[in-house]
Amino acid sequence: MNGEARFLRSFPAKPIVAERASNAELWDEAGLRWLDLGGASHGVALVGHNHPAVVAAVREQAGRLIHVAQSVQSAVRAGFLDRLHSHLPPALERTFLANSGTEGMECALKLASAATGRTRIVAMQRAFHGRTLGALAATHRPEFRAPVSGLLPRADFLPLNDMEALKATVTQETAAIVLEPVQGEGGVRPASREFLRVARDIATDTGAILIHDEVQSGLGRTGRFLAADAANVVPDAVVLAKGLAGGLPIGACSATAELAAKLPPGGHGSTYGGNPLACAAGTAVLTVLEQERLAERAARLGEHALSRLRRLDAPGVRDVQGAGLMLGLDLRTRPQPVLKALSGAGILALGGGTTGVRLLPPLTIPEAQLDEALDALATAMQAPEVPA
Ligand SMILES: Cc1ncc(COP(=O)(O)O)c(C=O)c1O
């Protein structure tokens, strides 16, 4: 048995042994070149794979100080937090640093529980928030929750953008309303601006904590630093992760000072969260986002891609949705034949829900490579094995 076969995976591995990558391109051991439209990095390659500024920052920091625990102060962490908060709504004053998106969600849910003393979670159908128990409780897909269903807190799942259902379900017993401003894993679906505003109002009226999960939609991907910025809605806590440290493990939960103050002494922590190496990489990522104006670029390229997807003349497409460089096709059938045809053309895309094809390219992808992927998608939709 080779080492990879020993890796305990709960999903099939792609037939690729990755060797190196640069921006949107990845090369395997056989020397084949692939384009990462999200299928290789699941959206982590936000500023591309191995951005030179991130590589330089990691090298420099690794030579100096890789780790100190959260109990020890660090100028690198301070600099990173200052930089991160310069992009966040001013009302979100405090950030906990963790190592993944799901851990960021755990922090947000813990804060909601500590602040309200309540236990009920209201989440959205098709939502994905992570694989640890709290985040999983708010994740909709029953297959993901089934193995540990007995351990999970109870959540009510409502259709996204259904304001009446939200009004009817959120009560004085609700600890948190949890939502992705643009859903990803369940299929790309933006929450409407009105829904985001109504959720904000209902949370305020009932005393529930509003948690935005921007693990996938944040950091400029949809054209704004946070997707919810477009609706001018500020949650009580927002969770970020994915590309925030250029591929090093990171997660962040940013909250209002009022909410953060509800955490009792010793109420949360993480050995690695906020370590200097991840923070140095994070500072480099934020610098690249600013200097290369990547949110604006995502908006521009996203419009181009969306209009190309909308022009796709394929009867198998039920709907096309997107925000910036978070793009989705909703098909009438399962997406696997399309993903397979794309893979045959060297394009690594993602599924979304049971019928979605999802594209999460780096915000730095050269336009010609984005078009190469969209051409391949148009061809894949015509492949004989793809049902109409
Ligand atoms: C919206 C959202 N939340 C949370 C997570 C979990 O992040 P992680 O896999 O880093 O724990 C993901 C991962 O894809 C995600 O897309």
Give backbone dihedrals phi and psi of 42, rounded to 5 degrees, phi first.
50, 40
pLDDT tens sequence across 207-221: 999 999 999 999 999
Q: Whose CA is nearest to atom 4 of ligand 1?
A: 129
pLDDT tens sequence across 99-112: 999 999 999 999 99
- d(Cα 229, Cα 339) in Å, to the nearest integer? 32
pLDDT of amino acid 296:
98
Atom from ligand 1 closest to the CA of residue 183: 1
pTM of the model: 0.98
Confidence of residue 385 (pLDDT cuts 50, 70, 90): confident
pLDDT tens sequence across 33-48: 999 999 999 999 999 9
pLDDT tens sequence across 146-181: 999 999 999 999 999 999 999 999 999 999 999 999
Coil/strand/helix, residue 190: strand
What's the number of CA atoms in the CB half-sphere (13 Å) around residue 357?
A: 32
- d(Cα 64, Cα 131) in Å, to the nearest integer? 33
Tokens found for residue 85 = 């908060």
- State in Å: Cα 270 to ligand 1 middle: 18
pLDDT surpassing 70 at residue 388: no
Site to substitute for ligand 1 among 100, 128, 212, most atoms within 8 A of C-beta: 128
pLDDT of amino acid 1:
79
Atom from ligand 1 closest to the CA of residue 132: 11
The owner of tokens 């076969």 is 5
pLDDT of amino acid 313:
82
Listed residue (251, 276, 320, 258) closest to 111, CA to CA: 258
Report the relative pairing of strands 120-124 and 155-158 from DSSP bridges: parallel
Atom from ligand 1 closest to the CA of residue 102: 11
Site to substitute for ligand 1 among 100, 107, 129, most atoms within 8 A of C-beta: 129
Neighbours of 29 (CB within 10 A): 10
pLDDT tens sequence across 287-317: 999 999 999 999 999 999 999 999 998 889 9
Give backbone dihedrals phi and psi of 324, rounded to 5 degrees, phi first.
55, -135
Neighbours of 321 (CB within 10 A): 20
The distance of Cα 171 from the centroid of its chain, to the nearest Å, equals 28
- d(Cα 241, Cα 77) in Å, to the nearest integer? 16
Site to substitute for ligand 1 among 10, 215, 253, 326, most atoms within 8 A of C-beta: 215
The owner of tokens 């096709």 is 329
pLDDT of amino acid 235:
99
pLDDT tens sequence across 267-278: 999 999 999 999
**DSSP state, 348?**
E
- State in Å: Cα 313 to ligand 1 middle: 32
pLDDT of amino acid 382:
87
- State in Å: Cα 130 to ligand 1 middle: 5
Ligand 1 pocket check for 184: Cβ under 6 Å: yes
pLDDT of amino acid 342:
97
- d(Cα 109, Cα 119) in Å, to the nearest integer? 10
Atom from ligand 1 closest to the CA of residue 100: 10
3-state helix, strand, coil in the chain (%, to 5): 40, 20, 40
Neighbours of 106 (CB within 10 A): 25
Ligand 1 pocket check for 178: Cβ under 6 Å: no
- State in Å: Cα 344 to ligand 1 middle: 27
Q: What Cα–Cα distance (Å) separates residue 291 from each residue in 53, 286, 287?
A: 11, 9, 6
pLDDT surpassing 90 at residue 266: yes
- d(Cα 110, Cα 34) in Å, to the nearest integer? 40
Q: What Cα–Cα distance (Å) separates residue 365 from each residue in 36, 46, 175, 301, 362?
A: 9, 9, 40, 9, 5
Coil/strand/helix, residue 276: helix
